[in-house]
Amino acid sequence: MSLSVIVLAAGKGTRMKSPLPKVLHLLAGEPLIIHVLETVFPLKPAQIAVVIGYKKERVKEILSSYAVEIAVQAEQLGTGHAVAITEQIFSNFEGDVLVLCGDTPLLRLDTIVSLVELHQRNNAVATVLTADFPEPRGYGRIVRDEMGMLAAIVEEKDASPAEKNIREINSGTYIFKKDFLFEALKQVKNDNAQGEYYLTDVIKIARTKGLPVAALKTNDFEEVLGVNSQFELARAEAIFQRRLREKFMANGVSFIFPDHVYIERQVKIAPGVVIYPFVSLRGKTFIEAEAIIESHCDLKDVRVLPGTRVKSGTILENAII
């Protein structure tokens, strides 16, 4: 099956209270949107379109070294509108389109693969990734019919009191049959509480026409957490750091006090390395086998050769030890 990708990255991120576009805020040393792109590259999509808007030149600059096509959403008229403006980009493409948010950096590749596989098995026109949230406020709710099948996605501002009590939420990650998606978007209206064109209305259109839709519920709600505030960014950072440390520990790296070590995404650490507290490993740092990094070290783009002991308080950049 041929697959293409749309990444929605046009929003300002008002609740971030920052002059930066939301998707350019850093997580483990890299912009949120880069995490999303790096997650989907292993799928080898036919095309990747990124929808940008707020401070578009700054976002374009970050994306300049990536093989993506840009669509500009001059006015933020909703997720449906954002996807609709990419139609021309995919005019020669036949297959399915994966839609992702540029502010969900914790999404796992394995989950996306499972979503694609479910979509294929059900021959669905639309498939959505969902999760059960302990505190679902702010997210669209998943409404299921008496058979447990996906019936609709209701945005919180349009939800009834009963619908607001639903804990299963829409992650904002979907896969659609391309032809169905862009035809359905032409039927979406903005008669809702926010006056926007909701991508979620495409699900309702599919159900009305009796077309097959599907939903995959992830068991790990953390991976679909969006970043909409500085608090949520810090929460995502904590989760991402924990994941990195767990991955390295599973491969034989020893952390004396794991919670007090900061690691960026491109860092490599070989088995047998010992890392003390209050260490920052940044950029493309590579710690080779059986090295010891003592406390209060800050290494950026540094290669530490096998068996080396880096003494406390070492601060280095672009070096080999």
* Residue spans of alpha helices (H) in the chain: 32-40, 56-63, 79-84, 109-121, 161-164, 178-185, 201-208, 230-250
Could you read off the pLDDT of 251-285 as tens digits, one per residue? Answer: 999 999 999 999 999 999 999 999 999 999 999 99
Pairwise CA distance, residues 160 & 166, whole Å? 10
For residues 187-198, one letter each, b for 16 or more C-beta atoms within 10 angstroms of the residue's C-beta and e for the rest, the string is ebeeebeeebbb
Q: Which residues pair with 5 in a beta bridge?
A: 48, 98
pLDDT over threshold 90, residue 151: no
Catalytic residue among 15, 167, 243, 265: 15
The model's pTM:
0.93
How far from chain centre, in Å, is Cα 188? 25
Who contacts 267 (Cβ-Cβ below 8 Å, separation ≥6)? 244, 281, 282, 283, 284, 285, 286, 287
Dihedral angle over CA of 184, 186, 188, 189, nearest 10:
-170
pLDDT tens profile 152-210: 899 888 899 999 999 999 999 999 999 999 999 999 999 887 889 999 999 999 999 99
- Judged against a pLDDT cut of 70, whether residue 1 lies above it is answered with no
pLDDT tens column, 64-82 = 999 999 999 999 899 999 9
User: How many Å apart are CA 61 and CA 16, to the nearest integer?
Assistant: 21
pLDDT digits 0-9 by tens, 204-255 = 999 999 999 999 999 999 999 999 999 999 999 999 999 999 999 999 999 9
**Mean pLDDT of all residues belonging to the chain:** 95
Contacts of 11 (CB under 8 A, 6+ apart): 21, 22, 23, 53, 54, 76, 103
How far apart are the C-alpha atoms of 285 and 135, rounded to whole Å? 38
The answer to whether the beta carbons of residues 105 and 240 sit under 8 Å apart is: yes
Closest CA to 292 of 312, 267, 316, 263: 312
Pairing of strands 48-52, 3-9: parallel
Percent of the chain with pLDDT over 90: 89
Distance CA 46, CA 52 (A): 20
- Spatial separation of the C-alpha atoms in residues 49 and 196, rounded to whole Å: 21
- Does residue 265 carry a catalytic annotation? no
* pLDDT number for residue 134: 87
* Helical residues (DSSP H) of 87-160, grouped into ranges: 109-121
